[in-house]
Amino acid sequence: MKLLVTGGAGYIGNNVLRAALARGHSVINHDALTSAALLSSCWYLLLDLVYLLDIHYLCVREGLEAVFDRHRPDAVIHLAKEGSVAQSIADPMASFDTNVAGTGQLLEAARGYWDRAGQPASFRLHHVSSDKVFGSLPRVGTFTDYAALQPGSPYAAMKAAADQFVTVWGETYGLPILMSRGPSLYGPWQHPEKLIPRTLMRALAGWEIPLLGDGTQVRQWLHVEDFARALLTITEKGAPGERYNIGSGVEMRNIDLVRAVCRLLQLRRPAAMSYAHLITHKADQPGHAARRASDDTKLRETLGWAPKTAFATGLAETVDWYLSHAGWWQPMLDKANARPSAKSGRDAA
């Protein structure tokens, strides 16, 4: 297939690009190369003859239409977004154009292209959302594929709004859409603001490790390479109009995850005092979900996907990767001013 991936220079996008090329697809990466782009982790893709980088802003319809007409993709994987939960709370409208209006512009550009091509039944637009749109769960139960949207932050509300746009474009215009919602991710190349790399980097520097609230928030955790495989499987095999939860079955409290990372660090790079003594509880985030967990039975049973990476193995390998790639993440950490005197713990899991 020829895949158009929006936001392909980001963390998830990098992994999707690598997985897609490994499966024999050709890829067009549509990215504005904002601060979320991690070009240092995908520069080698520029050497691949079936990879193209097309630099455009998502909100510019003319640019999107030109990309569709020039490259004529068989499918779209829509990953592009801006901001985080914490950033959306501080400035709720800063990323609205990209996260909501940009999705609308993409849908219209895709619809125009699809119409001009004779509405081929094989075309797909796969919108990648998040389990954040569902809000919070009690101690038991899971989100189903069609659970009610109950976002608890401006960021989640924007994702939910984009989800509704995608659903309506499928129902109103017949555009062959797919939707997926994933859990918390981990693995190499992840931005320093995220929970696991932030814990690793700050611990190694001897800085406090900020943890929001009491740390008892529960999340499902999935290796990013398994997530990329899930996205490609849905794009390749998913039924138009369907929504697919992507889960892992691995649930952990944030405090337990941070302690596990500290234990792994202590084994690999022993410190005089346990790294866990650096854990510092901070004021919780408004609307911070107590628990998120998704039922991905439909994805597993109808499309045959399942995670390949055991969590304990994946977490240990992730710690080892960051220990051996300080040259990659240290400049990013410095640029973000992630120091004890700076605001820390921007993005909660």
Distance (Å) of CA 157 to CA 92, 99, 160: 10, 10, 5
Q: Smallest Cα–Cα separation from 61: which of 10, 4, 104, 115? A: 104
Query: What average pLDDT does the structure give for the chain?
Result: 90
Distance (Å) of CA 344 to CA 20, 86, 199: 35, 11, 11
More confident residue, 209 or 82: 209
Q: Which of 80-84, 227-231, 245-249 has the lowest mean pLDDT?
A: 80-84
pLDDT at 53: 67
How sure is the predictor about 266, in pLDDT bands with cuts at 50, 70 and 90? Answer: very high
pLDDT at 58: 75
pLDDT tens-digit series, residues 134-146:
999 998 999 999 9
pLDDT(76) > 70? yes
Name the residue with tokens 């007409």: 69
Name the residue with tokens 């095999």: 237
Distance from C-alpha of 214 to C-alpha of 217, rounded to nearest angstrom: 8
Name the residue with tokens 């949207």: 149
Q: Which of 57-71, 156-170, 257-271, 281-295 has the lowest mean pLDDT?
A: 57-71
pLDDT tens-digit series, residues 13-51:
999 999 999 999 999 988 877 666 666 666 556 655 566
Q: Is 304 exposed, middle or buried (0-12, 13-18, 19+ CB in 10 A)?
A: exposed
pLDDT at 344: 43
Pairing between strand 75-78 and 2-6? parallel
DSSP 111-169: HHHHHHTT--TT-EEEEEEEGGGG----SS--B-TTPPP---SHHHHHHHHHHHHHHHH
Tokens of 150: 């109950």
Distance from C-alpha of 103 to C-alpha of 159, rounded to nearest angstrom: 10
How sure is the predictor about 202, in pLDDT bands with cuts at 50, 70 and 90? Answer: very high
Question: How far is CA 200 from its chain centroid?
Answer: 19
| CATH architecture under which domain 186-219+250-284+291-335 falls | Alpha-Beta Complex (3.90)
- Please report, as a single letter, which amino acid is at residue 344: S
pLDDT tens-digit series, residues 313-333:
999 999 999 999 998 888 877
Do the Cβ atoms of 145 and 179 come closer than 8 Å? no
pLDDT at 50: 62
Q: Which of 53-62, 190-199, 270-279 has the lowest mean pLDDT?
A: 53-62
Q: Smallest Cα–Cα separation from 34: which of 16, 12, 8? A: 8
Distance from C-alpha of 182 to C-alpha of 339, rounded to nearest angstrom: 30
- CA-CA-CA-CA torsion sign (245, 249, 253, 259): negative
Region 163-185: mean pLDDT is: 98
Domain 2-183+224-245 sits in CATH at 3.40.50.720
pLDDT at 33: 76
pLDDT at 337: 55
Share of the chain above pLDDT 90, in %: 73
pTM of the model: 0.93
Within the chain, which residue ranges are assigned CATH 3.90.25.10?
A: 186-219+250-284+291-335
Distance from C-alpha of 200 to C-alpha of 173, rounded to nearest angstrom: 47
Within the chain, which residue ranges are assigned CATH 3.40.50.720?
A: 2-183+224-245
Distance from C-alpha of 24 to C-alpha of 2, rounded to nearest angstrom: 9
